[in-house]
Amino acid sequence: MALAIMCSGGDAPGMNPAIKKFVDYVYEKGETPYLVYNGLEGLIDGKIVKALHKDVAGILHRGGAIIRSSRSKRFYEYKYRKQAYENLKKHNIDGLVVLGGDGSFRAMDRMSDEFPLNFVGIPTTIDNDIYGTDTCLGVDTALNVIRDALDKIRDTASTFSRAFVVEVMGRECGYLATVSAITSGAEVCVIPEADFNIQVAQEHLKKEIEEGRSYILSIVAEGTKKTKDIAEWLENDIGMETRVTVLGHIQRGGSPTVFDRMLAFEFTIRAVDYLFMSKSSNKVVVFENGEYGMKEIDEVVGNRYELDPELLGMLNRLD
């Protein structure tokens, strides 16, 4: 039995540990592993190579993905999806593990409706916006990158008595911003999932400034598109010299944390085991309420991820 692994969409720390575990575990099971290079584009172009142990040696600590990733406009066309499926069949590949996010799973769902594609998705995105799983591969590392940056920014904010507005990633999901604000003690957090009461915040901050507060740390989720507005508000209405920092793609890079490495191992083992067990899987591995499980791809892509109300409650208690 031959299995393949590919990455699709944005990269996330933990992809390389998953790739290594895939190759080692498939060989351990006495079967043949393949690597699909360049994501969906590589699947279309037939960039499919039999994996050797040496291909994945020494990659656990590396960020990114050694097999690279991509997004593909061509994949929207039936003829290219057919070509991708035929490329898998050329290598007698029976199952595919897909490291990706919501868009990647939608692509696989579409392809599986048209062809007898046997795949298992591993939720891999720093945005943590996939329905049915409490955490995705790469999230913990991204949070630690943000935490390190915020700790350093707070140092200079307090030294120069300034306000800093820090924009973090997450697309339309405010998970990274929320957890980062809570764990860094930020005074302001603006996310897509909740209205920001600027009047209440202004009264609160001005009172604290009168009582001796000398700096402000604000976290803004990119999906709100309010980074500039918050900076102008802090400068003009709160009256504090303000700087803006957009963390950008550093949040996607870096050596995966121990948690993300272990998560990658568990996700991958369960994905491979399921592919060996089933000839029509089309599932996504999830981690929910402290336990690993499988969800139907239709359920995952057919529902919208919602931020945990408990996190929103903690956010409302920022001080």
Within 8 A by CB and 6+ apart from 26, the residues are: 3, 32, 33, 272
> For residue range 140-154, what is the model confidence (pLDDT) as tens digits?
999 999 999 999 999
Q: For the domain 140-252, what is the CATH code?
A: 3.40.50.460
pLDDT score recorded for residue 318: 58
**Which residues have a catalytic role annotated?**
127
The whole-model pTM stands at: 0.95
How far is 195 from 284, CA to CA, in rounded Å?
A: 32
> For residue range 114-126, what is the model confidence (pLDDT) as tens digits?
999 899 999 999 9
Q: Answer yes or no: is pLDDT of 317 > 80.
A: no
Q: Do domains 2-138+256-304 and 140-252 have the same CATH topology?
A: yes
Tokens of 119: 């795949």
Q: Answer yes or no: is pLDDT of 105 > 90.
A: yes
- Mean pLDDT of all residues in 207-229: 97
> For residue range 15-70, what is the model confidence (pLDDT) as tens digits?
999 999 999 999 999 999 999 999 999 999 999 999 999 999 999 999 999 999 99
How far is 220 from 225, CA to CA, in rounded Å?
A: 8
Q: Answer yes or no: is pLDDT of 156 > 70.
A: yes
Q: Contact 193/140 with Cβ under 8 angstroms?
A: no
Instruction: Describe the crossing of helices 258-277 and 139-160 by its angle, rounded to 10 degrees.
Output: 160
pLDDT score recorded for residue 260: 98
**DSSP-assigned states of every residue in 245-304:** EE-GGGGG-SPPPHHHHHHHHHHHHHHHHHHHH-SS--EEEEEETTEEEEEEHHHHHTS-
Within 8 A by CB and 6+ apart from 203, the residues are: none
Within 8 A by CB and 6+ apart from 235, the residues are: 163, 241, 242
What is the Cα Rg of the chain in Å? 22
How far is 125 from 102, CA to CA, in rounded Å?
A: 9
All structural domains of the chain with their residue ranges? 2-138+256-304, 140-252
> For residue range 282-292, what is the model confidence (pLDDT) as tens digits?
899 999 999 99
What secondary structure letter does DSSP report for 4?
Answer: E
What rounded mean pLDDT belongs to the chain?
A: 96
- Tell me which of 28-32, 38-42, 228-232, 276-280 is least confident: 276-280
> Rounded to an integer, what is the distance from CA 169 to the centroid of its chain?
10
Q: For the domain 2-138+256-304, what is the CATH code?
A: 3.40.50.450
Q: Which of 283, 313, 279 is nearest to 301 (CA)?
A: 283
- Tell me which of 93-107, 141-155, 190-204, 273-287 is least confident: 273-287
The torsion of the CA quartet 64, 68, 71, 77, rounded to 10 degrees, works out to -160
For residue 284, the cross-strand partners are 121, 295
Q: How confident is the model at residue 319 (pLDDT cuts 50, 70, 90)?
A: very low
- Tell me which of 167-171, 247-251, 287-291, 308-312 is least confident: 308-312
- Mean pLDDT of all residues in 155-170: 97
